[in-house]
Chains A and B, each alone.
Chain A
Amino acid sequence: MSGDPGETNYLNASHGIGSWLLTRDHKRIGILYLLGISVFFVLGGLMAVLIRAELATPQGDLFSSDVYNRLFTMHGILMIFFFLIPSIPAVLGNFLLPIMIGAKDLAFPRINLLSWYLYMIGGVMTFVSLLTGGIDTGWTFYTPMSTNFAQGQVIVTAVGIFIAGFSSILTGLNFIVTIHRMRAPGLTWFRLPLFVWAHYATSIIQILGTPVVAIAILLVGAERLFHIGVFDPKYGGDPLLFQHLFWFYSHPAVYIMILPSMGVMSELVTAFSRKRVFGYHFIAFSSLFIAVIGFLVWGHHMYISGQSVVAGAIFSFLTMLVAIPSAVKVFNWTATLYKGSISLQTPMLYALGFIGVFLIGGLTGVMLGTLGIDIHVHDTYFIVAHFHYVMVGSAIMGYLGGLHFWWPKITGRMYNEFWSKISALVIFIGFNTTFFPQFILGYLGMPRRYHMYPAEFQTWNVLSSAGATILGFGYLLPVIYLLWSLKFGAKAPANPWGAKGLEWETSSPPPVLNFDTPPVVTEEAYAYETSTPAKEVTVGV
């Protein structure tokens, strides 16, 4: 039934560029996202390499201050709005969500295509602003810097992000309706894969949070053009108001990046332990809890901003609460390994890498949430290290782990196991060599966004820059062997890992409507104890 040559699947069902650009197939749209996101990741990554090259010496000898500021601003904007936020939901979520719930497509296939176009238009506008000079506001657009003092294409970039925001909102809406309305017969809420739960929680944040940042950015544009006096104290505005609006979205946005990655994690850990995930309900609800409480902690970005001391204390308290569901997830994954049948294939290596970087990112997050410590490390490299561990390390480990796990399903080809394991290792080592020294730099007091720095910080910066080189090579490897697999890789069977889940019951790559016969679900998720031929066996209790 699977992968036979000559069989029609979503890739060969129709041909020509038009059949891709006008497709309403969620799988093809997932591929379109994969292409767009990869381009922005490469651009953002090149800027990161340039930034680290500049910081190898204390002097500003490679670029002028102005160019350096534009580089880190564009690095942040591209990576956050055009890579990290859409990566897992738009690529893996788009491709897998309907298949995982046994549906033929998302609820609104045309809106799904529209989301991709909005994303690309937003991305191209941002890229145009880069080509025409870029901006020097930092990705955070703090006022009155961004409204009165910044140079460059602030308006064009803001409009680009604004448009991309709609893409995010529409995708979230599409996912929520799909999960509510289109589950296969027998697929109750508590039989859903945890990947689906994670995307459900993520979609809630996208729908509720994105409009707020869109409006905040709109107001920056209006203030810049017309001096309407919202943020500018000269006209009676409040410079802190922007930070409240911005972080009301941008803190939950961290969970847009990390929750889908946690969803991938749950899939990987169960598949490569051949075991039902430990504490399914706890993991499912912890995603929702993170989504809800994530909206109440934005003020921890502003402890020392001039907001009231009491507000600081309240936000610190709420921030502490977020640590619990995150910790619970890590414990549950660990417990899932207990008495498992563990195989260390490439996706599992990424999963273990995820736990490693997420532990460091999460625990340093507790430190930053602690008021007394934040007085010292706020806005230093400690922050830079922390958010790279959480947003980049954890999100990319999940993204790459997921991409390797589902690559045979998506493309119908197997990749080289040796090189993929090497790349997982190189990326893990490169990542930690790049960002761990930055914790030390931060505690020593090196401020973030510094083009030049006192000479005593150099040793750790050199180490960090060396790590970035290793990391760069680590990212290059998958590009090579994954592209290679498309042409030369072995044909993938329907279920190369012996994993559970509806997506493994259809051919690799799946047919246009995902299943030859509409599936009926008769068991819990991850019922590995019912052994390999998954379809016909019903589960006991």
Chain B
Amino acid sequence: MLPNSPVFPPVSSTLASKVDAIFFFTLGVSVLFSVLIVATIVAFLVKYRRRHAAEPGQEITGNTLILELTWSIIPLGLVMVSFFWGASIFFEQSRPPSDAWSFHVYGKQWMWKVEHPEGKREINEFHVPVNQAVKLTMTSEDVIHNFSVPAFRLKMDVLPGRYTTAWFKATKTGTYHIFCDQYCGVDHSKMVGKIHVMEPQDYQKWLVGGASAGGTVASGEELFVAKACNTCHRPDSSARAPVLDGVFGKQVALVDGRTVVADESYVRESILSPATKVVQGYQPIMPTFKDQISEEEIVQLIRYIKELKPAGAATAPAAAAPAAGGKS
């Protein structure tokens, strides 16, 4: 009927079919209720239309409490179904599966920059393999953006100064829109990209083809040296700072008695504002790298730190030790 304007977008991820299911449920209930109410109103309008100018309506007598409670409790039950169902999808969507491949996304007025796990980068194009869980760690270099792929029913804000995550598993090959859904300035409507879902072998072929920008982990290591992180954060650096090997993802005890998980946000914060959450047993002597390092470089450093395995597998890493031992 409308060849260029289908009523529903393509269903191309595991999330898409789940969102559609709950949407059709609420739509069905809504249509049912609307039809019932409108039909009742129309019937009343016809049946009880005014016949004489001075005619008053007839009072309803008797106890109406049961009626009032009934039509309060039934809708309450229905919206609760909607709530629990919707929340379960939302929770699932907030926890990427452990086998997900990790991609980084940067929003910048007005383009999407994407970095693949082994370091390949692209702008406003995004190639992914089909049937593979893909985790996105996203940040913005300026204002708030929003990464949205309607075909995947996926959407997440992309913020400056923070990391947000999202994940998807594409189920159908093809090319789909990436939109920025958060108003971000003059060319907001041009912040549009394409996501190409490919067969795994095609994806591998695409990866090796073309010029690669070099591995992120490799460049992270270079940065670690270039920014002189290694002068303090290595085992041979006379204990000025915690050794970072194997720390990532672990609980870390702080000087003020709190503990914090050494995740992306904590590493980022420690680079930009090192005195905020100092690890127990150390002095706040690290200089800030604010305005000296780009968001992309921070992510490269995080990638590198993530890869650092504990040196001797038997001994706990220095920084993690207080957390494991003496949390009072």
Contact = CB atoms under 8 A, between A and B. Distances in A.
A386 interface: no
B45 A337 contact: yes
A531 interface: yes
Given A370-B26, A372-B90, A456 B148 contact: no
A333 to B, nearest CB: 9
Contacts of B2: 459
A interface: dominant SS: helix
Interface in A280-296: 282
Given A378-B181, A380-B181, A447-B148, A459 B57 contact: no
Nearest to A281: B68
Nearest to A528: B56
B50 A239 contact: no
A460 interface: yes
Given A328-B68, A331-B71, A375-B15, A338 B60 contact: yes
A532 B56 CA distance: 8
Contact of B155 (A273, A337, A378, A457): A378
Interface stretch (A32-40, A99-107, A317-325): A317-325
Given A370-B26, A379-B148, A316 B182 contact: no
Contacts of B143: 142, 144-145, 148-149
A65 interface: yes
A274 B86 contact: no
Interface residues of A, number: 97
Contacts of A65: 186-190
B155 A144 contact: no
Contact of B5 (A136, A273, A444): A444
Interface string A205-228: 000000000000000000000000
Given A144-B160, A317-B83, A379-B146, A454 B19 contact: no
A427 to B, nearest CB: 18
B181 A448 contact: yes
A455 interface: yes
Interface string A138-173: 101010110011100000000000000000000000
B22 A370 contact: yes
B327 interface: no
A458 B23 CA distance: 24
Given A60-B189, A373-B23, A455-B4, A313 B146 contact: no
A334 B36 CA distance: 11
B87 A449 contact: no
A372 B19 contact: yes
Interface string A167-204: 00000000000000000000000000000000000000
Interface in B145-159: 146, 148, 150-151, 153-157, 159
Interface stretch (B72-80, B201-209, B228-236, B310-318): B72-80
Contact of B18 (A344, A370, A372): A372
B83 A370 contact: yes
B213 interface: no
Nearest to A73: B183
Contact of A450 (B9, B22, B188, B273): B188
A151 B172 CA distance: 42
A532 B90 contact: no
Nearest to A325: B72
B82 A275 contact: no
Given A320-B83, A366-B79, A335 B60 contact: yes
Contacts of B6: 444, 456
Contact of B22 (A276, A372, A451): A372
B183 A142 contact: yes
Nearest to B44: A337
Contact of A532 (B54, B142, B144): B54
Contact of A459 (B5, B55, B94): B5
A305 B3 CA distance: 34
Contact of A274 (B56, B79, B157, B190): B56
A529 B56 contact: yes
A335 B33 CA distance: 15
B66 interface: no
Interface string B118-160: 0000000000000000000000001110101011011111011
A125 B154 CA distance: 40
Q: Which of A65, A66, A457 has the most CB of B within 10 A?
A: A65
A452 B190 contact: yes
Contacts of A282: 68
User: Which residue of A313, A445, A459 has the most chain B CB atoms within 10 A of its CB atom?
Assistant: A445
Contact of B154 (A312, A340, A366, A375): A375
A245 interface: no
B308 interface: no
B59 A275 contact: yes
Contacts of B19: 372-373, 375-376
B9 A445 contact: yes
B309 interface: no
A61 to B, nearest CB: 13
Contact of B177 (A66, A274, A332, A454): A454
Nearest to A142: B144
A132 interface: no
Contacts of B188: 65, 69, 449-451
Interface string B203-229: 000000000000000000000000000
9 contacts: A278-B64, A309-B91, A312-B90, A375-B154, A376-B23, A444-B8, A445-B179, A458-B4, A459-B5
Given A316-B86, A529-B57, 6 more contacts: A65-B187, A145-B143, A342-B45, A372-B86, A379-B148, A528-B56
The 5 closest A-B pairs by CB, nearest first: A445-B150, A233-B161, A275-B57, A372-B89, A371-B90
